[in-house]
Amino acid sequence: MNDRQPTIFVVGSFVVGLTIRVPRMPVLGEALVGDEFDMGPGGKGTNQSVAAARLGAHVGLLACIGEDIFSTVADDLFAAEGIDCRHIHRIAGINTAVGFVHLIPSGENWIVGHLGANLQMQPEHVDAAEEQIASSDILLTQYEVPPAVVRRALELGRKHGRTTVWNPAPAQAVTQELLQFVDVLTPNQTELRILLDLPPDDPTSNEELARRLLEMGAGSVIATLGQQGAIIATNDGIELVPAVSGISVVDVTGAGDSFNAALAVALGNGLSLRAAVVQATYAGAFAVQHLGVINGLPTRAQLEQFQQAQSA
């Protein structure tokens, strides 16, 4: 990493996550007792904002929260992490979003959530933040806010010549019209299929699916493949970046958010796409070694030390 401080504007979600580790998946009607519990702030927009700030970026966030007890979790987090909160909106009469994460010992999980105030975000909220988007290096967004909001954010990013990074999670089928505004699309291998309106277990190769998204208009596709690493697909070809090996997986919940934030920061720092993906891969690997998302998001120093240790 260099000494420049990139500026990243995130349009995304805030969710309070409640994680409990259980010995296995329950069967219908069964009550299981977990052995570990974590409660804290989350939501892809928030996670990626915090991760980017810890990696040295100046971060502004557009998000919506409720007027309830969970909104104070947002206030405390943003103050502690130095997030620019000019565009955090409190929505009266709506709950702050919550997510219930069930984690099994392998590190795999399943999540049930309620998006609450996130669904109240409107394109007008994005318009109000246009000046800040225009002055940022990177526009980063996800899919935990309404599609019209995502579209407007990407439109404004493109209008002002910003690099637009879209992490399309949770995924839904995407149109060619929307992809024309996306410089870097970052699905995982399941989302890669859902974006193309295919079953999540469709047997088509990841490389072929990435090519289809490029043909539909995405500038580049970075598909994360878990322990297989990530593929970089551009009009110049497709390349595999291997996963970081020799780590102990505790909780994969925040790996994608750590990856996307590190990717955005690296691009904001002027790194090549491949170099940015390599750095992001290390950030994702760092995250999976920790229980809870926020706890697993590295600082710049921690990521540099982790990379050096793994390379030794």
**Catalytic-role residue among 38, 84, 137, 257:** 257
Q: In angstroms, rounded to a whole number, what is the distance separating the alpha carbons of residues 59 and 218?
A: 25
Domains of the chain are: 11-311 (3.40.1190.20)
With a cut of 80, say whether residue 107 has pLDDT above it: no
Q: What does the pLDDT read at residue 253?
A: 82
CB within 8 Å of 277: residues ≥ 6 apart: 222, 230, 232, 241, 263
**How far is the CA of 188 from the CAs of 47, 89, 175, 299, in angstroms?**
17, 30, 18, 24
- What would the pLDDT profile of 54-66 be if each residue is shown by its tens digit? 999 999 999 999 9
Give pLDDT, residue 40.
Answer: 85
Residues 140, 143, 145, 150, CA torsion sign:
positive
Answer positive or negative: Cα dihedral of 206, 208, 214, 216.
Answer: negative
Residue-wise pLDDT for 249-275, tens only, equals 988 889 999 999 999 999 999 999 999
The answer to whether 148 and 175 have CB atoms below 8 angstroms apart is no
pLDDT, one tens digit per residue, over 185-243 is 999 999 999 999 999 999 999 999 999 999 999 999 999 999 899 999 999 999 999 99
- 95 — pLDDT class (breaks 50, 70, 90): very high
One-letter amino acid at 2 equals N
Residue 245, Cα to own-chain centre: how many angstroms?
Answer: 22
Please state the rounded mean pLDDT for residues 13-37. Answer: 91
Mean of pLDDT over the chain:
94
- pLDDT for residue 2: 54
pLDDT at residue 3 in the model:
60
Residue range 90-115: mean pLDDT, rounded: 89
Of the chain, the percentage scoring pLDDT greater than 70 comes to: 99
Q: How far, in Å, CA of 49 to CA of 58, rounded?
A: 9
> Band of the pLDDT at 17, cuts 50, 70, 90?
confident
User: What is the C-alpha to C-alpha distance for residues 250 and 285, in angstroms, rounded to an integer?
Assistant: 11
Tens digit of each residue's pLDDT (9 = 90 or more) over 135-176? 999 999 999 999 999 999 999 999 999 999 999 999 999 999
Residue whose C-alpha is closest to residue 14's, from 34, 36, 43, 38: 43
pTM of the full predicted structure? 0.91
Are 151 and 180 spatial neighbours (Cβ–Cβ below 8 Å)?
no
- Confidence at residue 4, expressed as pLDDT on a 0 to 100 scale: 75
- The question of whether 257 is a catalytic residue gets the answer yes
- pLDDT tens digits along 270-289: 999 999 999 999 999 999 99
- How many angstroms separate the CA atoms of 251 and 21, rounded? 10
Query: In the prediction, which pLDDT does 88 show?
Result: 97
In this predicted structure, the answer to whether residue 308 has a pLDDT above a threshold of 70 is yes
